[in-house]
Structure 1
Amino acid sequence: MASRLTQLTAKAKQASQFVAKSGCDYYKNLMEKNKKYVVNPPTIDKCGELSKQLFYTRLASIPGRYESFWKEADGLKQLLKNKKDLKVEEAGIAAMFGIELYLLFWAGEIVGRGFTITGYKV
C-alpha cells in the first residue's frame, strides 16, 4: 500500500511539473486557435447579453424540435400499422433500444436509492 502511494505521489508530481512547464503554452495556443469565439471586451454586460441570446435561441428552436418529434411519432405509427413489412434488423434495433432504455431506468433507480440494490443501506 505504501509503495502504491509513493507511485501515485510521483505521478502527481510529474503531472504538476508538466502542467507548470507547458500549461501556459497550451493555454496560449488554445486561445489563439479559438479567438474567433472570444468577445471583446469581456465584460459582465456582454456575458449577460450572450446568455440571454443563448436562452432565447434555445426557446426559438422548440417549435422545430416539436415538429420533428411528431414526424418521428408518425413514422413509428406507420411502422406499427405495417408490422408485416417489418424487417428482422429493424425489430432487433427496436428491441435493443427498448432494453437500453429499461437498463438506464433501472440504473437510475439504483442511483436514486443511494447505490443500493435492495433499497436498504448496508
Structure 2
Amino acid sequence: MASKLHQLQSKACQATQFACKHGSSYYKQLLEQNKQYIQEPATVEKCSLLSKQLLYTRLASIPGRYESFWKELDYVKNLWKNRQELKVEDAGIAALFGLECFAWFCAGEIVGRGFTFTGYYV
C-alpha cells in the first residue's frame, strides 16, 4: 500500500512539473487561437452585458427546446404504439440508452457518497 502511495505521489509530482513547464505556453497558444472571442476592452460593464446576453439568449431558446421535447415524446409514443413493428436495431438502441442512463445514475450515486462503495462486501 505504501509503494502504491509513493507511485501516486511520484506521478502527481511529474504532472505538476509538466504543468509548470508547459502551462504558460499552452495558455498563450489557447488565447492566440481564440482571440476572436476576446472582447476588448475587458471591462466590468462589457462582462455584465455579455452575461445578460447569454442569460436572455438561453431564456429565448426555451420555447424551441420545449417544442423539440414534445416532438421527441410524440415520436416515442408512436414507437410504443407500433412496437410490434419495432426493429431489433431500434430495440437495441433503446436498451443501450437505458443502460447508459442507469450507469450514469450509479456513477452519480457513487460520486454523491464521496467515491465510497457502501453496502458491498468485497
Query: So what's the TM-score if we normalise by structure 1?
Result: 0.74
In structure 1, distance between residues paired with 2:12 and 2:106? 37
Partner of 1:95: 95
Any unmatched runs of 5+ in structure 1?
Answer: none
1:59 is aligned to: 59
Range that drifts further, 72-81 or 23-32: 23-32
Give the structure 2 partner of residue 38 of structure 1. 38
Q: Give, in angstroms, the shift of residue 6 of structure 1.
A: 8.4
Give the number of aligned pairs.
118
Q: Greater CA radius of gyration, 1 or 2? A: 1
Q: Quick one: structure 1 residues 91 and 20, their matched pair in 2 at CA, closer, same or farther if it must change by over 3 Å?
A: closer
SS of alignment partner, residue 41 of structure 2: coil
Distance 1:85 1:54, change over 3 A: same
- Any unmatched runs of 5+ in structure 2? none
Alignment root-mean-square deviation, CA: 3.1
TM-aligned CA deviation for residue 101 of structure 1 = 1.9
Identity %: 54
2-structure distance, mates of 1:10, 1:73: 48
TM-score (norm 2): 0.74
Deviation of residue 22 (structure 1)?
Answer: 4.4
- Bigger CA drift: 78-87 or 23-32? 23-32
Tell which deviates more after alignment, 4-13 or 51-60.
4-13
- Structure 2 CA distance for aligned equivalents of residues 36 and 49 of structure 1: 18
Matches of 2:8 and 2:23 in 1, distance apart?
23
